[in-house]
Amino acid sequence: MFENLQALPEDPILGLMAAFRADPAPVKIDLGVGVYKDEHGKTPVLAAVRAAEAAVLAEQQTKTYLGPAGNEQFNALMSQLILGDKHTALTSGRVRALQAPGGCGALRLGAELLTTTGSRPTIHVSDPTWANHVPLLSGAGLKLERYPYFDTRSGTVRFDAMLERLNTLPAGDVVLLHGCCHNPTGADLSLAQWRQIADVLLQRRLIPYVDLAYQGLGEGITEDSEGTRLIAATVPEALIAVSCSKNFGLYRERVGLLMVLAGNETQAVASASHLRKIARGIYSMPPDHGAAIVARILSDAKLSNDWRNEVNAMRERMMTLRRALSKALAATCTAEMAAAVDQQRGMFSTLAVTPEAADTLREKHHIYMTRDGRINIAGISLESVDYIARAIGSVVGR
Ligand SMILES: Cc1ncc(COP(=O)(O)O)c(C=O)c1O
């Protein structure tokens, strides 16, 4: 049977990581993989996570099964973190949440739920979007289409084109929205734009599917979920997939959450029962450890405060680097590119760099970025910023 399988080409990001490791150049810069890095180029374990982890290990009495919905305290605390504890979607009982193995697991669970409804809707994702959205969503059997989102030249959202497309979609179709820190572009919607989108979704009876993977790393912990809160306050039905990988630095522990907002509590309860069945049929139950850590942090005032300070520090560091890169690019590249980097938010920016130029940056200057021009802002340092801007200027020009 397996003789029918041909080896697949390496995943582009993993290939880039391997090429970076193998590069013997004394000065080399990794702007590829999407993880936070500190000023030493390390992806640290947060101090709040270390403290919560120690408490979890000391207090845990059993490792017996928790069930397909995972840690219910985690589910409740995360729902409150995202929507705010007084949000009408929560107080009306229309929300149910299920712990998932990472944001990826959550995205897939939601996609499976959509196909379970029997209507097999088309899901519309931004052009461009995070590459893994495609297998995660279409793998569940959803048809995938793209709506216009990003103008590479100006580095801004093509909002009119986006709105125009949404205004043509049939009722029941699903629209995937990045809650904040758009991956790969860093170009986010303003709150006024979220409001317009929410109105169109409501009028056309479209189902929003919000992917919230970077809460706290854009404008602020609360600010980054304002768009999601607005959507949940406007439409009758929505899905929200959440990742704790980046803002809790729990990447390998695989912690995430899927929230379903239904028209009423009965439908929410029914949806949750289907989600548990779907989870049972794929991985049975999510891993406990990471969610136990998050629940410990969010239920403890001191740890919560420490965690918030650490998230704020990560965000502010990336903002400092963003501003420094923007300033340096203003001297070597176009004013548009410099302004776009300044205005974008979160871990990424997509630069107006061709795939060939990205190859040259890698081969000649040892700067590693994906061929679509995406850079990880946290991979920059204040020491490397001028070198990076000069190198980009040499392949792009003014
Ligand atoms: C946009 C987006 N959504 C979801 C995820 C899921 O992350 P994880 O499964 O690691 O929690 C990521 C991770 O890179 C992402 O960038």
Distance, CA of 297 to CA of 194 (rounded, Å): 30
Across the chain, mean pLDDT equals: 96
CB-based burial, 375-384: b 16+ in 10 Å, e otherwise: bbbbbbbeeb
**pLDDT for the residue 70:** 98
Q: 34 CB under 6 A from ligand 1?
A: yes
Instruction: State residue 14's pLDDT score.
Output: 85
Q: Indicate where the chain has its CATH 3.90.1150.10 domain(s).
A: 11-44+316-396
Which residue's CA lies nearest to atom 14 of ligand 1? 34
Query: How confident is the model at residue 120, as a pLDDT?
Result: 83
Amino acid 9: pLDDT:
86
- Angle, helices 385-396 vs 301-332, to 10°: value is 40
Which ligand 1 atom is nearest residue 129's CA?
A: 1
Note the pTM of the prediction, 2 decimals: 0.97
Per residue of the chain (398 residues), what is the pLDDT tens digit?
Answer: 999 999 998 888 888 989 999 999 999 999 998 999 999 999 999 999 999 999 999 999 999 999 999 999 999 999 999 999 999 999 999 999 999 999 999 999 999 999 999 888 999 999 999 999 999 999 999 999 999 999 999 999 999 999 999 999 999 999 999 999 999 999 999 999 999 999 999 999 999 999 999 999 999 999 999 999 999 999 999 999 999 999 999 999 999 999 999 999 999 999 999 999 999 999 999 999 999 999 999 999 999 999 999 999 999 999 999 999 999 999 999 999 999 999 999 999 999 999 999 999 999 999 999 999 999 999 999 999 999 999 999 998 76
Residue nearest to atom 3 of ligand 1 (CA): 213
Over residues 289-320, the pLDDT tens digits come to 999 999 999 999 999 999 999 999 999 999 99
246 among known catalytic residues:
yes
For residue 214, the CA-to-ligand 1 centroid distance in Å is 8
Our answer to whether residue 313 is catalytic in this structure is no
CB 314 within 8 A of CB 322: no
* Whether residue 130 lies in the annotated active site: yes
Q: Does domain 50-299 have CATH number 3.40.640.10?
A: yes
pLDDT tens-digit profile of 362-384?
999 999 999 999 999 999 999 99
Ligand 1 atom closest to the Cα of residue 104 is 9
Catalytic residue among 130, 140, 198, 307: 130
What confidence score (pLDDT) does residue 13 get? Answer: 85
- Ligand 1 pocket: which of 43, 108, 129, 130 to mutate (most atoms within 8 A of CB): 130
Rounded to 5°, angle at Cα 368 from 390 and 318: 75
- The minimum-distance atom of ligand 1 relative to the CA of 211 is 3
Where in the chain do CATH 3.40.640.10 domains reside? 50-299
Residue of 173, 211, 224, 306 marked catalytic: 211
129 Cβ inside 6 Å of ligand 1: no
Residue nearest to atom 2 of ligand 1 (CA): 213
Architecture of domain 11-44+316-396: Alpha-Beta Complex (3.90)
User: For residue 66, how many C-alpha atoms fall within 13 Å in the half-sphere facing its CB?
Assistant: 23
Contacts of 12 (CB under 8 A, 6+ apart): 131, 370, 371
Note the pLDDT tens digit of each residue in 194-245.
999 999 999 999 999 999 999 999 999 999 999 999 999 999 999 999 999 9
